[in-house]
Amino acid sequence: MRVCIVGAGAIGGWIGTRLAASGAAEVSALARGATLGALRTHGWRLDQDGVRTTAPARVSESTADLGEQDVVVLTVKATALAAVVDRLEPLLGADTVVLPFLNGVPWWFTHGSDLGSLESVDPGGRVAAAVPFERVLGGVVHVSCAAVEPGLVRHHLGNGLIVGEPGGGASARVGAVAGVLGAAGFDVTSSTDVRRDAWYKLWGNMTMNPVTALTGATGDRVLDDPLVRGLCSSAMLEAQRIGDLVGCPVRETPEDRHVVTSRLGALRTSMLLDVESGRPLELDALIGAVHELGRRLDVPTPAVDAIFGLTRLFGRVHGLYPDEPT
């Protein structure tokens, strides 16, 4: 199976290295800048459990060089997605599937519903136009990794990948992709409701990411502050009401989820790392989409709005989130 990793950062590097080193797939990568140079010089590199795994990397900054693929794995930041999908056409054959492992609400989430496309995650429907729904496999990743330098990934914890048809049910192509990922050593779940899986993951990190980014605090300190913990719980209850209306119920309480998060200790979320590195914030996909869904469904979301608004303003002040159009 020919697999192209588009976005060879932390998650893309983790997946790409494991696939290439295992021989489970013929792997290539679309990269640029320092990451492109590092992959050309050193190949794939992953530090996990005290062991460095390496593998040769076929990499280019041009999709035309890489050619048609069986699977295109999208692991770019949500903020870069619209620009990237315009370049995918040379990778797409008649049966190519696109498997996004992205933070937050995916662009395909509301496909086929009365809600239409979400402007917060796909302004103007640009991504949906470039990647038709029929090509998409839903993907959810449960892992903590960091790119410690271009082309070098350090794994912290987790090994789970979820793959499923975005419209629900089972299919041969889900089985084929899950089989290749499983052969590379990932803990793969073939889901019949990956949309619900995506919402559940969002429910768990839609507050922790922006709050840590805004405050600079690690996850343990967020949960140790009763006022901040309460604000996060209120936002999660609002998101639960939205989930019920869009067919993605969450059968836990916010406190149940806080217990799970607390086991991660001094968690430095991906958005906190983005702030520290001066990278754009993925606010729209992680909490802006929840704000937008609340407006469309007439669900009051005062806690979500407070977290979104404050972190958005923080991002604008620090040049990490776009200013309002003038």
Are 307 and 211 in contact by the 8 Å Cβ rule? The answer is: yes
Is pLDDT at 188 greater than 80 in this prediction?
A: yes
pLDDT of 116: 87
Q: Which residue has the higher pLDDT, 324 or 293?
A: 293
Q: Which of 141, 169, 192 is the last residue of a domain?
A: 192
Provide the number of structural domains found in the chain.
Answer: 2
Is pLDDT at 326 greater than 80 in this prediction?
A: no
Mark whether 280 and 142 lie in a shared domain.
no
In the chain, helix, strand, coil percent, each to 5? 50, 20, 30
Q: How far is CA 105 from CA 83, 118, 160, in A?
A: 18, 9, 18
Mark whether 39 and 188 lie in a shared domain.
yes
Q: Which domain holds residue 76?
A: 2-192
Mark whether 160 and 233 lie in a shared domain.
no
**Pick from 281, 206, 194, 283: nearest CA to 240:** 206
Annotated catalytic residue within 40, 201, 221, 279: 201
Is pLDDT at 73 greater than 80 in this prediction?
A: yes
- Count the residues in the chain: 326
Q: What is the DSSP letter of 76?
A: S
Global pTM value: 0.94
At 324, the pLDDT band (50, 70, 90 cuts) reads confident
**pLDDT (mean) for 255-284:** 94
**pLDDT (mean) for 145-171:** 95
The CATH number for 243's domain is 1.10.1040.10
Give catalytic status of residue 201 as yes or no.
yes
The CATH number for 74's domain is 3.40.50.720
Return all residues near 50 (Cβ < 8 A) that are at least 6 apart: none
Alpha carbon distance 316, 12 (integer Å): 28
Q: How far is CA 23 from CA 46, 137, 218, 320, in A?
A: 15, 22, 37, 39
Average pLDDT, the chain: 96
Tokens of 317: 């002040």
| Tens of pLDDT, residues 118-143 | 999 999 999 999 999 999 999 999 99
**Pick from 25, 308, 2: nearest CA to 183:** 25
Is pLDDT at 162 greater than 60 in this prediction?
A: yes
At 256, the pLDDT band (50, 70, 90 cuts) reads very high
Mark whether 91 and 48 lie in a shared domain.
yes
Q: Which of 161, 192, 223 is the last residue of a domain?
A: 192
| Tens of pLDDT, residues 15-53 | 999 999 999 999 999 999 999 999 999 999 999 999 999
Cα angle value 279/312/303 (rounded, 5°):
130
Q: Provide the percentage of residues in the chain whose pLDDT is more than 90.
A: 95
pLDDT of 65: 96
Mark whether 55 and 132 lie in a shared domain.
yes
